[in-house]
C-alpha cells in the first residue's frame, strides 16, 4: 500500500464548490467518484439512500435530496467538534483536524474527506477519527461493542484510502459523555477491504456501462419510497406496460394478498358496526361515568367510557373566513400505491 494523494484543502470552501470537488475532483477530471458516505449506499446498507438513487446522482440524472433528514445532518455537523472534544478527553488521544480531500493511490475514484485524524496516546499510531451523533432511541445499536454496518463500511473505506491501520468511531447521544457516548475501534482488515473495493469496482463499471442497479438488495419499504422519489407523479398519457410470464407469480401473489386484506377490512368494518350496536345499552347505563366493572366467579370485566379531546382545524371555516391564508397553508402530497387485480377473459 502507499500514501494517499492530497487533491486539495476544502477549508473555507462553499458547499457548491465542495460538492463539485467531491463529485469530480478539484480539477473536474475524475469521471466518477465514491466518497465515504457513498460506500454503505453501494452495499444497500444506507437507510436514507438506495444504490439506484446514488447511481442516478452520479450520472447527473437527479440531484442529492438535501431535504432528507436535513435537521439531523445539520445537528451532526454542529456537534462534530463537541464529539471530538469528548473523545480526546475520555481517551487521551490526540485529535487533529483534517480538511484535506484525499484520493486512493490505486483507485482514482475513491476519495476521502475526513472529520479528524487521531494519534493513539499509548502506541503513537496514527488513525482516523469519525464523529457521529444519534438519538437515545438508537443507543441500543451501539450496545455490546456493536457498530452500525453503514458506519463500519465508511471507516474501512477511509482506512484504505488513507493507508492507516485503525479508525475510531465516537458516537454521542446524550449530555453525559461517560454514559451516553460509544467509542469503537475498527482495525484494518485487508480481506474485508478487498470485498469492499470489488463491490465499488462493480458500481463504477455500472456507471460507465450505463446499467443501473436494481432494488433487489434494498429493504422493500425503502425501495418503494425511493422509487416514489425517483419517478415522482405518474403520467396518464403513457402507454400501458406489458409484463411477461416472469412477473406472473409476483403479480398473482400481490393480487391474492390485497384481496385477503380487503376481506379483513370488510370483517373489521362489520365487527365495528356490531360493537357500536351492542355498546348503546352499555353507554346508556354508564351515563357520565368513566369506568364500570362486572365481576364474576371466574373473572372481572372492565369498562372504560372516557372522554378524549382532540383538536383539528376546521378547513371549511378556514377556507370561508380566511381564503388567502387557507391557500397559503395548503400542502400538496403525492402517493402511489401498487394495486393488482385479476380479471377473467
Q: For residues 239, 240, 243 and 247, what is the CA-based torsion angle, rounded to 10 degrees?
A: 120
Which of 71-75, 258-262, 317-321 has maximum average pLDDT? Answer: 258-262
The grid coordinates of residue 233 equal: 407523479
Whether the pLDDT of residue 341 is over 90: the answer is: no
The grid coordinates of residue 315 equal: 378547513
Q: What is the DSSP letter of 243?
A: P
Q: Which helix (H) or strand (E) holds 185?
A: strand 181-187
pLDDT for 56 equals: 96
The grid coordinates of residue 14 equal: 462553499
Residue (of 149, 155, 93, 99) closest to 130 by Cα position: 155
Domain coordinates in residue numbering, the chain: 5-221, 247-313
Which class is 5-221 in CATH?
Answer: alpha beta
Q: What is the edge-to-edge ordering of all strands in the sheet holding 126-133?
A: 94-97, 116-119, 126-133, 166-172, 181-187
Q: Which helix (H) or strand (E) holds 291?
A: strand 291-295
pLDDT for 312 equals: 85
Rounded to two decimals, what is the model's pTM?
Answer: 0.80
The residues with which 9 forms a beta bridge, in sequence order, are: 100
181 Cβ contact partners less than 8 Å away, ≥ 6 residues apart: 83, 86, 87, 90, 170, 171, 172, 173, 174
- With a pLDDT cut of 90, the percent of the chain lying above it is 76
**241/36 Cα distance (integer angstroms):** 38
For the segment 130-164, what is each residue's pLDDT rounded down to a tens digit? 999 999 999 999 999 999 999 999 999 999 999 99
The angle at the Cα of 230, spanning 208 to 249, to the nearest 5 degrees, equals 90
Q: Which helix (H) or strand (E) holds 19?
A: helix 15-24
> Does residue 248 sit in helix, strand or coil?
helix
Residue (of 101, 100, 200, 104) closest to 160 by Cα position: 104
Q: What is the DSSP letter of 177?
A: T
Query: Which of the residue ranges 112-126, 165-179, 311-325, 329-343 would you say has the lowest mean pLDDT?
Result: 329-343
One DSSP character per residue, 54-87 reads HHHHHTTSS---TTTTHHHHHHHHHHHHHHHHHH
For the segment 291-323, what is each residue's pLDDT rounded down to a tens digit? 999 999 999 999 999 999 888 888 888 888 888
Amino acid at each position: 500500500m502507499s500514501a494517499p494523494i492530497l487533491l486539495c484543502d476544502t477549508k473555507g470552501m462553499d458547499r457548491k464548490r465542495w460538492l463539485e470537488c467531491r463529485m469530480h475532483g478539484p480539477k473536474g477530471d475524475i469521471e466518477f467518484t465514491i466518497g465515504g458516505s457513498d460506500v454503505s449506499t453501494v452495499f444497500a446498507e444506507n437507510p436514507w439512500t438506495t444504490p439506484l438513487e446514488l447511481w442516478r446522482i452520479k450520472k447527473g440524472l437527479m440531484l442529492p435530496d438535501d431535504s432528507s433528514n436535513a435537521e439531523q445532518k445539520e445537528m451532526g455537523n454542529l456537534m462534530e467538534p463537541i464529539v471530538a472534544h469528548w473523545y480526546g478527553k475520555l481517551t487521551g488521544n490526540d485529535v487533529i483536524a483534517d480538511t484535506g480531500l484525499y484520493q486512493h493511490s490505486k483507485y482514482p475514484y475513491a476519495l476521502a474527506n475526513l472529520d479528524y485524524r487521531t494519534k493513539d496516546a499509548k502506541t503513537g499510531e496514527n488513525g482516523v477519527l469519525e464523529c457521529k451523533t444519534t438519538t437515545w432511541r438508537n443507543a441500543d445499536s451501539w450496545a455490546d461493542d456493536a457498530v452500525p454496518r453503514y458506519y463500519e463500511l465508511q471507516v474501512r473505506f477511509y482506512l484504505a484510502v488513507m493507508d492507516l491501520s485503525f479508525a475510531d468511531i465516537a458516537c454521542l447521544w446524550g449530555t453525559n459523555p461517560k454514559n451516553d457516548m460509544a467509542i469503537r475501534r475498527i482495525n484494518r482488515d485487508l480481506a474485508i477491504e478487498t470485498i469492499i473495493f470489488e463491490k465499488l469496482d462493480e458500481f463504477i463499471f455500472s456507471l460507465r456501462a450505463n446499467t443501473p442497479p436494481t432494488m433487489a438488495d434494498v429493504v422493500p419499504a425503502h425501495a418503494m419510497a425511493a422509487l416514489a422519489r425517483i419517478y415522482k407523479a405518474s403520467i396518464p398519457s403513457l402507454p400501458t406496460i406489458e409484463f411477461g410470464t416472469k412477473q406472473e407469480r409476483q403479480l398473482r401473489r400481490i393480487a391474492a394478498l390485497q384481496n385477503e386484506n380487503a376481506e379483513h377490512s370488510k370483517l373489521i368494518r362489520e365487527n365495528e358496526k356490531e360493537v357500536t350496536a351492542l355498546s348503546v345499552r352499555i353507554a346508556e347505563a354508564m351515563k357520565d361515568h368513566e369506568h364500570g366493572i362486572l365481576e364474576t366467579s371466574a373473572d372481572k370485566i372492565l369498562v372504560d367510557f372516557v372522554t378524549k379531546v382532540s383538536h383539528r382545524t376546521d378547513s371549511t371555516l378556514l377556507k370561508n373566513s380566511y381564503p388567502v391564508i387557507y391557500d397559503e397553508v395548503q400542502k400538496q402530497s403525492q402517493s402511489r400505491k401498487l394495486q393488482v387485480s385479476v380479471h377473467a377473459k
